[in-house]
Amino acid sequence: MCETCGCADPHTVPVELYDRILSVNETQAAHNREHFRGQGILAINLMGSPGSGKTAILEATARALAGRWPVAAIAGDLETERDAERLRAAGIPARAITTGNACHLDAAMVHHALHHDSLRHARVLFVENVGNLVCPAVYDLGQAFNAVALAVTEGEDKPLKYPVMFRKADVVLVTKVDLLPYLDFRLDVLTEALQQVMPRPVVFPVSARSGEGLDRWYRWIEERQRDLPAPATAPVPHRHGA
Amino acid sequence: MHEYSIALALMERINAEASARGAIAVHRVRVRIGGLSGIEPELLRSAFEIVRERTICWTADLEIDEIPAAWACSACSQPIAPGGVLRCPACGEPAHLSAGDEIVLDRLEMEVP
């Protein structure tokens, strides 16, 4: 008799697995991480709603870090190369990943883009994820850090509505703060909300338009890049799975 | 809706397990989904019903154990109530998520000839 449910079927076998369902993505993400470490690349996964100002922040960052660190970007969107074009115009190599209908990037898509020549010499690599406050948080890409852009026009309660995303954030960029005089948005209310979903909130209020607050963001990036172990002198050989 | 890609990943994992054991049907699938995993159990259920069509799982029951999010102090392990500041009231250290980010396939019941 079946030991599980007492049915008379002798052939029903229970199998205990305790397997992470996204293990294939996690293996690929670990591979990407190995790749980044081996080449001394600081990889930052930038997430946020559509229109939160992710590309504008990266344009400003690309210009500010020019000459200090080789910066590159991978930009994910459902359609078009527009973000990658904007980032190339800001002076950095950028590859577009068009996901079609997929609402997030996954580690395999990033891996595919990584092997493009133009990204090989980066020391800071931004992965601009698909604009979405839900799905991208679920998929590890192999990044060292997650940054989340939240525009002041989105309201202070977004962290409480989208706790999964903000829990995963290492840093939150509160964007478009040049608009604050025209809005009822309160930074202290946002900070309170973030403290309820992020154990270690790091918050930079910034404006890509006025440049306000961006120095702290640049310093944060540079400190993280300096803290990386020294890159190998030759590319570290790494295996590519099937 | 990323639950669809989660359901596809789940089916892949089940198929691999079923073919490794020569199973002819899967009767029951039990998964564990955390409250802060980013997966909506009901959407996962609908997605699973779509992807299991014409597969070894076509009659399988999907059981979802929903695990509520729980926080604890990263230093003294004292539980920290959600809904407030995620810092230990006793020692001031930041909290860590002690449960609630699971996306796990726990168990299968398969029919093996």
Tens digit of each residue's pLDDT (9 = 90 or more) over A28-52: 999 999 999 999 999 999 999 999 9
Q: At which residue do the structure tokens 């779509």 appear?
A: B50
Who contacts A97 (Cβ-Cβ below 8 Å, separation ≥6)?
Answer: A74, A75, A76, A77, A105, A109, A110, A112, A113
Angle subtended at Cα A219 by Cα A84 and Cα A95, rounded to the nearest 5 degrees: 15
Q: Which of B10, B61, B109, B110 to mutate to test the interface with A (most CBs of A within 10 A)?
A: B109
Contact A90, A59 (CB under 8 A): yes
Give the mean pLDDT of chain B.
95
> Which pTM value belongs to this model?
0.92
Please list the ranges in chain A whose pLDDT falls under 70. Answer: 1-10, 231-242
Helices B3-20, B41-51: crossing angle, 10 deg rounding: 50
* pLDDT for the residue numbered A1: 45
* pLDDT for the residue numbered A242: 42
CB half-sphere exposure, A100, CA atoms < 13 A: 2
Cβ-Cβ contacts under 8 Å, A17 against chain B: 13, 17, 105-108
Cβ-Cβ contacts under 8 Å, A14 against chain B: 107-109
* pLDDT for the residue numbered A7: 57
Q: At which residue do the structure tokens 């800001």 appear?
A: A90
Element (H, E) at A76: strand A71-77
Closest CA in chain A for residue B88 = A199
* pLDDT for the residue numbered B83: 87
Cβ-Cβ contacts under 8 Å, A106 against chain B: 5
Q: What are phi and psi of A15, to 5 degrees?
A: -130, 120
Question: B105: distance to nearest CA of chain A, Å?
Answer: 5
pLDDT at B28 over 60: yes
B2 and A19 within 8 Å at the Cβ level: the answer is no
B10 and A21 within 8 Å at the Cβ level: the answer is yes
* pLDDT for the residue numbered A115: 86
Q: A236 touching B, CB under 8 A? A: no
